[in-house]
Structure 1
Amino acid sequence: MQPSAVPDLAHTRTRPVHWLATAAAMAGVVALAGLFQPDGATANQPERKATTAAPDPADVRLPLECPGTVGVVTGKAIGDLDGDGGQESVVTARCNAGSGSPPAGIYVLNRAKDGQPRVVATLLTPADGLSVSDLAVRDGAVRATLLGYSSPDVPTCCPDEQEQVSWKWRGGAFVRTVQGQSDTAAM
């Protein structure tokens, strides 16, 4: 068998003119591709309110009556409670008693149409005689641990009862659920 003759491939040697022609061709392809773009997406998207910043409790007068002392915010949680895309603030507040475990309130803050923050719901009032711990907003619900007393003989420093509760927006009201019990509405 004889070795095959290798043809002369002089035309395959690259010269600067070949690179210049290749670059020009590629630039033409890229420019042409830029002219033919797909149409914009036209799928119907549900209209949602633009996400707004949660109201600052310092900008709102909370419905606390603290004769001889001031009210203090002791906890804050943020989330979208009504599904409109805007953020609500949930705050716990109490009168600054200086000692013991003064009763607290839980308030939901939102913005009015003019953008001003306001209290839109009271979930717990200080008149209920309970303290609050572990405030959070999860899955569109306000969750808290409420601390209370089994009798008037229990010192106010040391609540001896606790219950896990949550409030969820349903049918135009916040509905309270106690762990292991049925729902009750709160306004």
Structure 2
Amino acid sequence: MQTQTSDAPDLAHTHARPVHWLTTATVMAAVIAGAGLLQPGHATATTPAPHAAPAPDPAAAAFPLECAGAGTTVYKQAAGDLDGDGNPETVAAVRCASGSGTPPSGVYVLTRGARVVATLVSPDEALSVADIEVRDGVVSGNLLGYSSKDVPRCCPDQQRQVNWRWADGKFVRDGGSGTPAAESV
């Protein structure tokens, strides 16, 4: 029998040996394992969390104060969600701008659009507000007043701590004796 010889180079390295199969199997297993680890996670539809609107700006509000052309001054303010709707309201202590004395204050609740929605303290009560804050849906304030008409308007001689809570569709004042409930506008 005669063997045929090839003019091509020797292809002995093309014969598969067990070490070649083992190397190929190891590489393929690594590729498959890597592909399993790099698969994307389950797709889920998410709705972006709604962002609460910013608290109303009292500078943009029209307060129900009679100031005879003197203008108004917002001298205290605090913001927080008072009615549990997820949007903050602003509580503003406002008085007529004056050159001297301590004019009576009004304390108002503003909602979106800087709209006055409640009066917590009416200027008719002849009170001023030393401080005001909103915490956990409760408005707290330190009210200053006068024991008689003989006390100079610059120097209040009485004070009482009060709180307002939203209940049954209105703000209810507690604290201090004889204080009426706040009126809604």
Report the Cα distance in structure 1 between the residues aligned to 2:152 and 2:103, rounded to whole angstroms: 11
1:129, distance to aligned residue in structure 2 (A): 0.2
Pick the aligned partner of 2:36 from 32, 39, 47.
32
Kept after mapping to 1: 8 A contact 2:95/2:103: yes
**Match for residue 66 of structure 2?**
65
Structure 1 residue 56, shift from structure 2 partner: 0.7
Q: CA deviation at 1:29?
A: 3.8
Residue 39 of structure 1 deviates from its aligned partner by 7.3
Gaps of 5+ in 1: 1-16, 43-47
Relative distance call for 1:34 and 1:185 in structure 2 (3 A) is farther
Distance 2:91 2:80 in 1: 8
- In structure 1, the residue matched to 2:151 is 154
> Is residue 153 of structure 2 the alignment partner of residue 129 of structure 1?
no
> Which amino acid is 1:63 matched to?
P
Query: Residues of 1 paired with 2:148 and 2:38: CA distance?
Result: 77
Q: Does 1:166 align with 2:163?
A: yes
Partner of 1:8: none
SS of 2:59's partner is: helix
* In 1: Cα distance, 2:127 partner to 2:172 partner: 18
SS at match of 1:65: coil
Question: How high is the TM-score relative to the length of structure 2?
Answer: 0.74
CA contact (8 A) 1:103 1:129 kept: yes
Partner of 2:120: helix, strand, or coil? strand
Contact 1:164 1:179 in 2 (8 A): yes
| 2:141 corresponds to 1:144 | yes
Taking structure 1 as the reference length, what is the TM-score of the superposition?
0.73
Q: Which has the larger radius of gyration?
A: 2
**Amino acid across the alignment from 1:90:** V
The two structures, once aligned, show a CA RMSD in angstroms of 3.0
